[in-house]
Amino acid sequence: MNEYIEFKNISKSFGKIEVLHNVSFSVKQGEVHALLGENGAGKSTLLNIFHGVYQDYSGEIFYNHQPIKFKSVFDANHHGIAKVHQEINLVNDLTVGENIALGQEDVKGIFVDRKKIDKKSNDILDELGCSFRSRTKVSSLTAGEKQMVLIAKALYSNANTISFDEPTAALSNNEIDHFFKTVEKLKAKGVTILYVSHRLNEIFKICDRVTVFLDGSYVNTFDAKTITKEKLIHSMVGRNVEMFAQRKMPKLYTNEVALKVENLNKPGIFSGIDFEVRRGEIFGLYGLVGSKRTDVVRAIFGAEEHVSGNIYIGGEKVNINSPYDAIKHGIGLVPEERKSQGFVKVFNNAENITLTDIGRYINKFLINDKKKNSSAVEYIKKLNVQPLDSKKMTATLSGGNQQKIVIAKWLHCNSEILILDEPTKGIDVGAKEEIYNLLEELVSQGKTVIIVSSELPEIIGLCDTVMVMSEGKQIKIVRDKFINEKEILKYALGGEFDE
């Protein structure tokens, strides 16, 4: 077997933040090669570079000993390299055959040769063991069947290499079995497969080799048939001490329970969520892609529908059916998507900061703008927002400063329990540090902080208690000195077959 795909010194940055550092490894022809790592380890970025989504990277890629650099996913397709996306994207209103042939239709004169397309598509569908036909409408298919359509599309274009990004995340158990069989068939045909997943059992089941990434760097490549789960997890950890967030004032929590969540369920999304957060505690919620952590905190904040379970604040049962209720009970949420959820783009800093509690500045129906602005300036100064300008449009600030405005909004309305979903996503190191310090200051004042994060250094460095989730289930609650990379990753990766 030869070196079929070779990555040589690949580096890639988004703005100031480097997401891949000098990655080199190779993939053999006809193997199923897994890419493993935490969220943000760089797996998806590497695939996007390979498929021509990003062209501004450094380093070289060789495909069958030829240097390659594709201009687009479409361009890569022409060279026999296909991608089955994380989100399934098919045209729902077209038939299976039309989707399979889309962009590469066989023609007879000026007309699309439907007969030929149907015949070729049906042959491929038979080969993949699918029961639906070329003339079936895509809108009537399940998630697993749609994925088969994408694979059929790849085979229709004679792909030699197919990459999968979290292919089983949306599938039922039966569909997963069928998918594994399909992967075996592809392998038998000599197709090379790149396989991004964090489900260890899948990797052991269908992959030949596995390459581990950590914080955008290549760690090692292992033979999946011989390595143990223990060793694999061990290779995924091992950051230096200085990479972790540091607490200046550890253990500020009291015995008083600030928030208690009892048997929280949302059918089909998450179930059996049960935990307590103490006053003055920094509580972490960790989980990889598909763990549904964001759904859990949104449910607590009243932003999700069809949720059952009980929530107690300061020992009292409360009814939270909307963010309005949650805010009334002293909960604040800094949402995951800053730009689309965190602030109003057409508002300036003062307007965004005061939005949730504008009532404070109202005198006889009218807002006192002077008071509003001077109060906003206080928070802007306190959080060191640059520039120090309450009338600056929030949308024009840098990511870190925007995040400070979103946090200021909850300080302004005096939230007792502050939930932050990915508080430092896409933020530079300096602003990160400032946000960490601020969170410590909040708990030192007797407030309670819940952090949802994909970054282990953040979770491990800051949190007094960590709840690990996987696939919509609460796997384990880890406390104080038991909190370390290996322990948390073990539950996040292997939860489903450990229990």
Partner 1 sequence: MSKVNQMMKNVLKKFTWNNIKQAMASREGLLIISIFIIVGVFTIIDSVYIMPRNIVNILEQSVVNGFLAVGITFAIVLAGIDLSIGSIYALSIVFVSKFLVGGMNPFLAIGLGILVGAIFGGFNGVLISKLKLQPFIATLGTMSIYRGIAYIVTNGNPVLGIPTEYRQILNSNTFGSIVPVSIFLLIAFVIFTQIVLKKTRPGTYIYSVGGNEESAFLSGIKIDRIKILGYAISGIGGAIAGMILLAQLGTGEPIAGSGAELNAIAATAIGGTSLAGGKGSPIAAFLGAILLSALKVGLIVAMVPTFWQYVATGAIIIVAASVEIIQKRLKSSTT
Contact residues toward partner 1 (CB under 8 A) are 301, 303, 322-324, 326-328, 333, 335, 340-347, 351, 355-356, 358-359, 362, 365-367, 369, 409
CB of 298 to partner 1, least distance (A): 9
Q: Judged by CB, which is closer to partner 1: 102, or 346? A: 346
> Which residue's CB is nearer to partner 1, number 210 or number 326?
326
d(CA 156, CA 137): 18
Q: Which two tokens stand for residue 332?
A: 């604040």
Measured from the CB atom, the residue of 278 and 329 that comes closer to partner 1 is: 329
d(C-alpha 215, C-alpha 236), whole Å: 10
Q: Which DSSP helix (H) or strand (E) runs through 127?
A: helix 114-127
Cα distance between residue 466 and residue 463, in whole Å: 6
Burial class (CB in 10 A: 0-12, 13-18, 19+), 141: buried
Closest distance of CB 15 from partner 1, Å: 22
Q: Could you give the 3-state DSSP secondary structure of residue 254?
A: coil
Strand partners of residue 420: 334, 451
CB 455 within 8 A of CB 424: yes
Q: Parallel, antiparallel, or unpaired: how do β-strands 282-286 and 32-36 relate?
A: unpaired
Q: What is the three-class DSSP state of 98?
A: helix
Shortest spacing between CB 357 and partner 1, in angstroms: 9
Smallest distance from partner 1 to CB 362, Å: 6
Please answer whether residues 23 and 217 qualify as being in contact, where contact means their C-beta atoms are separated by less than 8 angstroms. yes
**Least CB distance to partner 1 at residue 371 (A):** 13
Residue with tokens 């995340």, as numbered in its chain: 169
Q: Which of 78, 339 has the CB closer to partner 1?
A: 339
* Residue type at 207 in one-letter notation: C
Match 């079929």 to its residue by tokens: 4
Nearer to partner 1, 29 or 356 (CB): 356
Looking at residue 394, the DSSP 8-state letter turns out to be G
- Residue number with CB closer to partner 1 (172 or 322): 322
Q: Which is nearer to partner 1, 324 or 497 (CB)?
A: 324
Nearer to partner 1, 322 or 445 (CB): 322
Given the complex with partner 1, which of 247 and 298 has the nearer CB atom? 298
- List, in order, residues 6 or more apart from 433 with CB less than 8 Å away: none
* Helix boundaries (H) for 346-398: 349-354, 369-382
CB atoms within 10 A of CB 487: 17
Minimum gap (Å) between residue 386 Cβ and partner 1: 17
CA–CA gap between residue 167 and residue 165 (Å, rounded): 5
